[in-house]
């Protein structure tokens, strides 16, 4: 898959559409004229971008014949295309690790996880359903994984790492996701991540034992 200069992993033509919409709202005909594409080709790209939640309709542009729909990027879409976040976060964590005691950085990462979880609605259902929902959310955030049922609970085992570029051998970073998942599933979570040359996420969720209810995340 080719890459647009400023639209991250979007296909090149769709990336060019995004580049134009980052500058100003445009109609499908205006985009087609600037890119040398047919109206139908642009409409197809816009439909995909609308479906992905990257573009929205921004009202109508008056014209002599009939009003045309204007399209613009959704608020916050620029963050999805930025390549600065990963190196910024990686160096931020590295500097914090150099200046703070490990216990303080660990506690800070737990707080970060709690704060992130607060931005999501509470998961519904019993613990098994909440674990499955948490795994689905991690997938939506870009972390391929599978859920394994064990005698003492569940394991969400990733096929990669959501924060690989920020890990650099620092387990404190994994604590953020650990507390994030604990808040979501409302049960104790222990990270068992692999932090070697190819980091992989791994989180053990403690479940009911001998028919007893699962302990709370705070327990």
Q: How far apart are CA 127 and CA 102, in angstroms?
A: 32
* Among 60, 81, 102, residue at a domain's last position: 81
Question: Is 211 among the domain residues?
Answer: no
The pTM (predicted TM-score) of the whole model is: 0.64
Give 30's pLDDT tier (boundaries 50, 70, 90).
very high
pLDDT, tens only, 174-202: 889 999 999 999 999 999 998 877 888 99
Question: Is 33 among the domain residues?
Answer: yes
What CATH number does residue 108 fall under? 3.30.1380.20
Residue with tokens 């005909």: 29
Kindly state whether residues 61 and 74 are assigned to the same domain.
yes
Q: How far apart are CA 42 and CA 146, in angstroms?
A: 37
Kindly state whether residues 69 and 159 are assigned to the same domain.
no
DSSP state letters, 25-71: -EEHHHHHHHHT--HHHHHHHHHHHHHTTSEEEEEEE--SSS-EEEE
Question: Is 200 among the domain residues?
Answer: yes
Kindly state whether residues 126 and 149 are assigned to the same domain.
yes
Residue with tokens 């519904």: 124
Kindly state whether residues 104 and 187 are assigned to the same domain.
yes
Kindly state whether residues 70 and 91 are assigned to the same domain.
no
pLDDT, tens only, 88-140: 877 888 888 889 998 898 899 999 999 999 989 999 999 999 999 999 999 88
Give 219's pLDDT tier (boundaries 50, 70, 90).
very low
Task: For residue 111, give its domain range.
Answer: 85-206
pLDDT of residue 44: 92
Angle at 170 between CA 167 and CA 173, to 5 degrees: 65
pLDDT of residue 47: 93
Q: Measured between alpha carbons, how far is residue 193 from residues 102, 178, 180 in Å? A: 18, 10, 15
Domain count, the chain: 2
Kindly state whether residues 43 and 141 are assigned to the same domain.
no
Q: How far apart are CA 47 and CA 76, in angstroms?
A: 19
What CATH number does residue 77 fall under? 1.10.10.10
Q: How far apart are CA 186 and CA 217, in angstroms?
A: 5
Q: How far apart are CA 133 and CA 125, in angstroms?
A: 9
pLDDT of residue 218: 47
* Among 81, 104, 126, residue at a domain's last position: 81
Tell me the HSE value of 156 on the side-chain side, using a 13 A CA sphere.
31
Question: Is 2 among the domain residues?
Answer: no
Is pLDDT of 153 > 70?
A: yes
Kindly state whether residues 145 and 128 are assigned to the same domain.
yes
Short-list 180, 177, 169, CA closest to 202: 177
* Among 30, 55, 81, residue at a domain's last position: 81
Question: Is 89 among the domain residues?
Answer: yes
Is pLDDT of 211 > 70?
A: no
Kindly compute the dihedral angle of the four CA atoms of residues 167, 170, 172, 173, in this order, to the nearest 10 degrees: 0
Question: Is 101 among the domain residues?
Answer: yes
Give 87's pLDDT tier (boundaries 50, 70, 90).
confident
CB 96 within 8 A of CB 105: yes
Which carries the bigger pLDDT value, residue 89 or residue 204? 204
Kindly compute the dihedral angle of the four CA atoms of residues 17, 84, 158, 9, in this order, to the nearest 10 degrees: 20
């Amino acid at each position: 898959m080719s890459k647009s200069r400023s639209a991250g992993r979007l296909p090149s033509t769709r990336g060019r559409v995004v580049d134009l919409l980052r500058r100003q709202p445009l109609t499908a005909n205006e985009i087609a004229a600037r890119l040398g594409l047919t109206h139908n080709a642009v409409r197809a790209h816009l439909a995909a971008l609308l479906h992905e939640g990257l573009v929205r309709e921004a009202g109508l542009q008056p014209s002599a014949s009939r009003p045309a729909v204007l399209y613009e990027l959704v608020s916050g879409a620029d963050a999805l295309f930025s390549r600065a976040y990963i190196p910024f976060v990686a160096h931020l964590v590295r500097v914090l690790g150099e200046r703070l005691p490990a216990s303080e950085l660990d506690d800070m990462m737990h707080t970060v996880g709690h704060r992130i979880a607060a931005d999501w609605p509470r998961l519904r259902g019993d613990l098994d359903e909440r674990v499955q929902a948490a795994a689905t959310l991690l997938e939506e955030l870009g972390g391929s994984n599978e859920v394994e049922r064990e005698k003492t609970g569940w394991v969400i085992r990733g096929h990669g790492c959501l924060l690989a570029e920020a890990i650099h051998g620092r387990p404190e970073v994994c604590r953020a996701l650990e507390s994030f998942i604990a808040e979501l599933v409302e049960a104790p979570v222990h990270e068992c991540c692999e932090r070697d040359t190819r980091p992989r996420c791994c989180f053990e969720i403690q479940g009911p034992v001998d028919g007893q209810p699962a302990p709370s995340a705070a327990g």
